[in-house]
Chain A
Amino acid sequence: MNNQKNHNPFYDPSLSSRHRSARLFKAFTRGSILITLAFLCFFIFDMVRTAYPAMWQSYVKVEVSYNEKSSKISQKAIDKKFRKIVSRAWLRSIPKLLKQQPELMGTTANQWVLADDQVDQYMKGHHHNLKQKQVSVIETLKTNAQIELRWNNIFLSQGDSKLPENAGVYSSLIGSIFTLFVTLAIAFPLGVMTAIHLEEFARDNMLTRIIEVNINNLAAIPSILFGLLGLAVFINLFGLPRSSPLVGGLTLALMTLPIIIVSARAALRSVPDSIRQAGYGLGLTKIQIIQGNVLPIAFPGILTGTIIGLAQAMGETAPLIIIGMIAFIPDSPNSITDAATVLPAQIFTWAGMPERAYVEKTAAGIMVILLILFFLNAAAIYLRKKYEIKW
């Protein structure tokens, strides 16, 4: 040691402890990544495991007799012992079917129909409330291969239902699309225009600085406050229809606006001033410079911010509770003024249902929304990479 000290003029006695703390710091940062990854993996693994059964749905083959009786009381269409086995969603559709296809009257058919959710849970080996008698009926059906699990296409083609076997995310997906459409149509032009004004036109004075601080503030306030604002302004003052994607979209637009403004300003600011100066030198007007040169360069950045803002709006539920979009609305909307629900709201409602079968539906709904968010964010990255200009 002593030797080293004498011969090395750069020797620093604190060196080894500095190296140690540097190594420790590295270990800490790595540790935090590992912990985050572990949480994420656990969450996704748990979700996939819970959601997997929702991909399958039980169907049973029963003899259906279409006659006068069953056109009135649909339970009469099938044998008594199967009444608790088949789904009510299918049973109650019989009278309507007979009205549409009167030629079926008086015939009997051996057909595959949707099974009740308790039967479905039994088939998947989950907890069920079936009586011993019903279990033995299912067991005989099983040995005769008259009951089977099939690919669940109801989940992506139907709306909400109180019968878990008939519940799906379709209506809420359409509702989400309508709502996001309204949000985009309002927040994007407003946000970009505001950013352009603040960056390109406004002078740097007290007023613009106050506006700036307020915009940054708005980006951070709890989203439920936007719901209260939406209720007070859009529903109570303007009289727009409650629970509609129009009101939902407007409310979410308020929430997304600050995100778009902030990211659009950052994008505009990153455009080098030399571009603008060159424009002036060529005798271009302000609008020609912005439209023709500044905006195209800043566009990838603006787009990324917008998509991230939309992704956030897509997953938002809190403000929608207040404006009535978290409700039982099984029909999908035909216009933006119809009552509708959105995907995260659908997940929220299912999570509160007492029936066990909704547990897997909830997880499956979460998988759907995760996939959509994944693609939205991937699109943001792709667009940025594709149109990005490096100086």
Chain B
Amino acid sequence: MKTLIFVLGLTVIFSNANASPRDQMKIVGSSTVYPFSSYVAEEFGSVSRYPTPVVESTGTGGGMKLFCSDNSLNSPDIANASRRMKIKEFNLCERNGVKNITEAMFGYDGIVLAQSEKNKPLNISKKELLLALIKLVPNEKQDKLIDNPYQFWDQINSNLPHRKISIYGPPASSGTRDAFEEMVFEYQTDEIKVYRDAGLKGYRIIRTDGVYIPSGENDNLIVKKLSKDTAALGIFGYSFLTENSDTISGVTIEGIQPTAKNIATKQYPISRSLFFYIKNDHTKDVPAIKEYIEMFLNVDLIGEDGLLAEIGLIPLTDQEIKQSHERTSKYQKLTLNELKKNHGF
């Protein structure tokens, strides 16, 4: 008898599981965007008449995979991304019937290099950072690529201190790592003749001899390690630097401090844009999406004095906010050409 009830119960659940219009939104994606997205979700949940959206932190790549896997109402409504959608991902979406997507940019984030407070201020150029971290480097004559031999910063540039090169950073699955490799490695190796001659277009392989230490998606762990391992540097999002300013300090890149202002004006060289992508086909059956986007792209939240700026978001200019607002209010469809045109800015 009990088994019968149990089986009946299961069938009821199974038959109910298929999608019908729902109140609760589903959001997936980047762990960098997660704090902002869930902050908005909470505000939305407490102010609007809808339940708080579910926000999952899967990493940009993982989020895109979920977002593009299915167009039915069981799939996520919004994917957060700490980089632009890749063409590969766009094609995956198309193949699975997710053909109507809107892109919204909502802010900037700087990738900072930080060290323990106890150290003297350090200034590194992008080139030096490349040479410290990439797997193959040009030899002295600049005609051949050799395994990276540098163990101390002063071997790269004699003006740098005699300090062991040791850098904690995100693992390969992370969007932060992706953006970092693109901005620091790819753009530079494309410009250097030796790499071009070796046929290594877009070379971006990080060294694996223990100098770079992948430390998981938890940036707090890196912060903690830096206060113990004072020789090391760490790579993470800007918000972790502001929250921990008592134990760590930012390394200047090309002489530029990682501050909110420098990142917003794009003077700071390692900064990126943050996005979310909307599945337009869901807007009819999930009415909460519209209100959520309106709330998110409001100056009160993402503007210069907005609430998200307090937790480390680097705001867009008013002009850019307006543009994002325009795009989303008419659910402007994202096209392949658009992605191809300004890929990687």
Contact = CB atoms under 8 A, between A and B. Distances in A.
Contacts of A239: 14, 17-18, 74
A327 B25 CA distance: 13
B39 A162 contact: yes
B41 A328 contact: yes
Given A243-B54, A327-B56, A88 B13 contact: no
Given A92-B47, A162-B35, A162-B39, A324 B16 contact: no
B279 interface: no
B56 A330 contact: no
Interface residues of A, number: 37
Contact of B38 (A88, A96, A162, A355): A162
B34 interface: yes
Given A162-B311, A327-B56, A339-B24, A354 B14 contact: no
B242 A330 contact: no
Given A331-B45, A331-B52, A242 B220 contact: no
A240 B54 contact: no
Given A238-B14, A240-B13, A355-B243, A326 B57 contact: yes
Nearest to A162: B39
A328 B55 contact: yes
B35 A354 contact: yes
A281 interface: no
B220 A351 contact: yes
B54 A337 contact: no
Nearest to B37: A328
Interface in A59-117: 88-89, 92-93, 95-96
B287 interface: no
Nearest to B19: A239
A162 B41 CA distance: 9
Interface in B12-28: 13-14, 16-18, 24, 26
B45 A354 contact: no
Contacts of A241: 17, 74
Contact of A240 (B17, B220, B239, B240): B17
Contacts, number: 97
Interface string B40-54: 011101110001101
Contacts of A189: 3
Nearest to A338: B24
Given A246-B13, A355-B311, A328 B18 contact: no
B6 interface: yes
Contacts of A351: 218, 220
Contact of A337 (B16, B57, B217): B16
Contacts of A356: 243-244
A50 interface: no
B160 to A, nearest CB: 29
A155 B294 CA distance: 31
Contacts of B13: 240, 246, 336-337
B218 A352 contact: yes
A331 B52 CA distance: 7
A185 interface: yes
A92 B46 contact: yes
Interface in B133-178: none
Which 3 A-B pairs have CB atoms at the shortest separation, nearest pair first? Answer: A328-B38, A327-B56, A328-B55
5 contacts: A92-B43, A95-B47, A162-B311, A326-B57, A331-B52
